[in-house]
Amino acid sequence: MPNVTAVAHRGAPYHFRENTLDSLRSALRLGADAVEVDVRLTRDGVPVLLHDETLKRLWEHDRPLLSLSADEVRGLTAGRVPTLAEALTATDGHRVMLDLPGTPDVRAARQVVDVVRRCGAADRVYYCAGATAMLAVRAADPAAEIALTWTTLAPPRPALLDAVRPRWLNYRFGLVSRDLSARVHKDGYLLSVWTADTRRTMRRLLALGVDSITTNRIETLCGLRTTRQPVVRREHARRPGTRAVADAGPEV
């Protein structure tokens, strides 16, 4: 089986609550090469880790995040919804994929990018989401490493690719075939896939030559890999607007 970058989806959610520091640390102990987290802004513009628009599903408070300050979120969750800065500190030395749910504008993207820079994490962070969010990230940071999430078999338009300049194309696992993998690599991109949780699916994706798999079961994926793959470091990433090298080795 080929090597693949193992990305832990929201940490290790079968062991700890998703997008918490305990979940991220657990995923890294289990062998993840990178962790994927969801980032949203509080009312006062602080990036925190939360997938949903509200605190209801995970924290039993039916309160929209955008209606709460960072201090209020901390109080309602006993400090267990970490800020992005706290998450970057907890994952020091490891790759982090920042998924930006919703449709953040350039101002919101810039607030996230600014935290990444202040934490000295720009060389290990990469961003994933759909076209609108990734255009905002590209406007906020011309050097950002991007995994453009794509949800159809029709390839992204050349004009969009020129504007976003992704390093990765990020597909739902069910869309990935040998032809799609070959096309993505021929076009000079790395292929990132989400969210594969069964051994059967993981083996199929490994056989198709994907470069990265995002999973909720990181220990299962790591167990399937025959050799440990080095983390994809930022210095080996292709520069925006250039083609990926053949041995380039996500997601978030």
- pLDDT per position as a tens digit, 182-222: 999 999 999 999 999 999 999 999 999 999 999 999 999 99
Residue 46 domain-assigned?
A: no
From the number of C-beta atoms within 10 Å of its C-beta (0-12, 13-18, 19+), residue 186 rates as exposed
Q: What percent of the chain has pLDDT over 70?
A: 88
Residue 58 domain-assigned?
A: no
Q: What pLDDT shows up at residue 228?
A: 43
Angle at 213 between CA 94 and CA 4, to 5 degrees: 75
- Averaged pLDDT, 78-85: 98
Q: What pLDDT shows up at residue 234?
A: 46
Q: What pLDDT shows up at residue 252?
A: 35
Residue 232 domain-assigned?
A: no
Residue 192 domain-assigned?
A: yes
Question: Domain span at residue 103?
Answer: 5-34+94-227
pLDDT at position 90 over 80: yes
Radius of gyration of the chain (CA): 17
Q: CB under 8 Å to 2, separation ≥6 — which residues?
A: 206, 209
Q: What pLDDT shows up at residue 102?
A: 83
Residue 130 domain-assigned?
A: yes
- Averaged pLDDT, 141-154: 98
Q: Is residue 251 very low, low, confident or very high in pLDDT (cuts 50, 70, 90)? A: very low
Residue 238 domain-assigned?
A: no
Q: What pLDDT shows up at residue 104?
A: 87
Q: What CATH number is attached to the domain comprising 177?
A: 3.20.20.190
pLDDT at position 112 over 80: yes
pTM: 0.89
Indicate the number of domains in the chain: 1
- pLDDT per position as a tens digit, 159-178: 999 999 999 999 999 999 99
Residue 118 domain-assigned?
A: yes
Q: Could you give the CA distance from residue 27 to residue 243 in angstroms, rounded to a whole number?
A: 31
Q: What pLDDT shows up at residue 226?
A: 59
Q: CB under 8 Å to 39, separation ≥6 — which residues?
A: 47, 48, 49, 50, 84, 98, 99, 100, 112
pLDDT at position 157 over 50: yes
How far CA 64 is from CA of 41, 58, 60, in Å, comes to 11, 12, 12
Residue 236 domain-assigned?
A: no
The DSSP string of 210-242 is: -SEEEES-HHHHHHH-SSPPPP--GGGSPPTTS
Q: What does pLDDT average to over the chain? A: 91
